[in-house]
Amino acid sequence: MSEQWIAERMQKIDASGIRKVFDLAASMKRPVNLSIGQPHYDTPQPVKDALCKAVQEGRNAYSQTQGIAPLLNLLQADVDQRYGQTDRKVFVTSGTSGALVLALCTLVNPGEEVIIFDPWFVMYRHLVTLTGGTVVPVSTYPDFRVPVDAVRQAITPRTKLIIFNSPANPTGIVATPAETQALAELAAEKNIALISDEIYRAFCYDGEFTSPVRWNDRTIVIDGFSKSHSMTGLRLGFMHGPGYLIQQMLKLQQFTFVCAPHPVQWAGVTAWELDLEDNRADYRRKRDLLAGLVREDFQILGGEGAFYLFLKAPWGTGSEFVAEAIRNNLLIIPGNVFSAQDTHFRVSFAASDETIREGAEILCRLARQGGPSTQT
């Protein structure tokens, strides 16, 4: 096949650096793996049982594009109770990735600008490229807080959208209510669309989660079951926002994903009713375990939510430190996968206590080593 057939947009999209690490993990013998971006516990048994039951009962055809009524009703009732906005509508998506595709394709015209925060979730930059939009990164270094003044300065007449992620991947930062309010009000003031990616909202360890919807009723929220219920491979997400926007996204879903996987939606009905507070508490404990083990050798910023610490390399670049870690059988993610800077790396504490302890020991040993080994 001629390479001339490939659309120009694909030259601007790199293969996922995270996937490269996952592929590397598959080729290593028993690596100490702190690269995982998903819960380390299995999908809850009641969810698996509900999925099997749905399949056996023949719920395998297309569902309604917006999702099955029992799941929609649960989600809509929750959104209504939390926000009390009469025009805020919910629909079910094929994962949060599917929701992002629908939202960006619905909102962004070629040449329009999308503000994202650096470090960013890897998908944001590439999906903006897919739409023909232009990414405008706003740095959150060195403390990873939301720099609302810098956002204001980055806005131009071409700015169409801001993408906000709290709790954040890769930093684990949870925006304060004041930061969230200021960003929401700025977007409303400038008539700029605001997407709030809330996939990690179940994992806030030091305070309550706050959505910008409280201060901006046009906020588009993306959420799902992948992280909270360890259902990453089942591809079940949802989105809510103003009714007129949701209708346009539903129209696009008809001609792309069609619907979220039908039997998985029935599993979602069961998942929604589960109490997973023990999992959240366990990840808080794991966060404290990892932070306590590495604190003498690394500055701890973030880790307030999600499953991650984003640590500055104690020597060399982030990529050089990660390369040395991999030579020592430790899998972590270089920060330049998420950022224009190559100074940090991401560590996940979604792992067993034994793996966390092993990984922390390697990290601290490498930090004290002061540079890469002389081994070839």
What are 188-239's pLDDT values in tens digits?
Answer: 999 999 999 999 999 999 988 999 999 999 999 999 999 999 999 999 999 9
pLDDT digits (tens, 9 = 90+) for 293-317: 999 999 999 899 999 999 999 999 9
Contact in structure between 306 and 169 (CB atoms under 8 Å): yes
- pLDDT category of residue 25 using cuts at 50, 70 and 90: low
- Burial of residue 296 (number of CB atoms within 10 Å: 0-12, 13-18, 19+): exposed
What is the structure's pLDDT at 20? 63
In total, the chain counts a number of residues equal to 376
What is the structure's pLDDT at 40? 93
Name 17's Cβ contacts closer than 8 Å, sequence gap at least 6. Answer: 122, 333, 334, 336, 337
Contact in structure between 144 and 310 (CB atoms under 8 Å): yes
pTM of structure: 0.94
Return the H-helix or E-strand segment holding 242: strand 237-242
Specify the fold of 45-272.
Answer: Aspartate Aminotransferase; domain 2 (3.40.640)
Hey, what's the torsion of the CAs at 91, 97, 101, 104, to 10 degrees?
90
pLDDT digits (tens, 9 = 90+) for 130-188: 999 999 999 999 999 999 999 999 999 999 999 999 999 999 999 999 999 999 999 99
Hey, what's the torsion of the CAs at 274, 278, 281, 287, to 10 degrees?
-100
Contact in structure between 164 and 187 (CB atoms under 8 Å): no
Mean pLDDT across the stretch 107-130?
96
Neighbours of 304 (CB within 10 A): 22
Residue-range domain boundaries for the chain: 3-42+276-369, 45-272
pLDDT digits (tens, 9 = 90+) for 326-359: 999 999 999 999 999 999 999 999 999 999 999 9
Domain 3-42+276-369 bears CATH identifier 3.90.1150.10: yes
* Three-class SS state of 185: helix
Structure tokens at 51: 């999925």
pLDDT of residue 361 exceeding 50, the answer is: yes
Average pLDDT of the chain is: 94
% of residues, the chain, pLDDT over 70 = 95
Of 303, 301, 291, 300, which is closest to residue 205 (Cα–Cα)?
Answer: 303
Using DSSP bridges, classify how beta strands 308-312 and 344-348 pair: parallel, antiparallel or unpaired.
antiparallel
* Three-class SS state of 334: strand
Question: In the block, which residue shows the tokens 């991999």?
Answer: 326
What is the structure's pLDDT at 16? 54
What is the structure's pLDDT at 11? 80
pLDDT digits (tens, 9 = 90+) for 145-155: 999 999 999 99
What is the structure's pLDDT at 7? 85
Mean pLDDT across the stretch 99-124?
97
Cα distances (Å, whole numbers) of residue 251 to 109, 220, 238, 259, 263: 17, 16, 15, 11, 22
The span from the CA of 46 to the CA of 272, in Å, is 11
What is the structure's pLDDT at 376? 42
Mean pLDDT across the stretch 79-85?
96
What is the structure's pLDDT at 213? 98
Cα distances (Å, whole numbers) of residue 375 to 294, 295, 324, 371: 25, 28, 10, 12
Question: In the block, which residue shows the tokens 């490939």?
Answer: 6
The span from the CA of 177 to the CA of 168, in Å, is 14
Structure tokens at 110: 């070629």
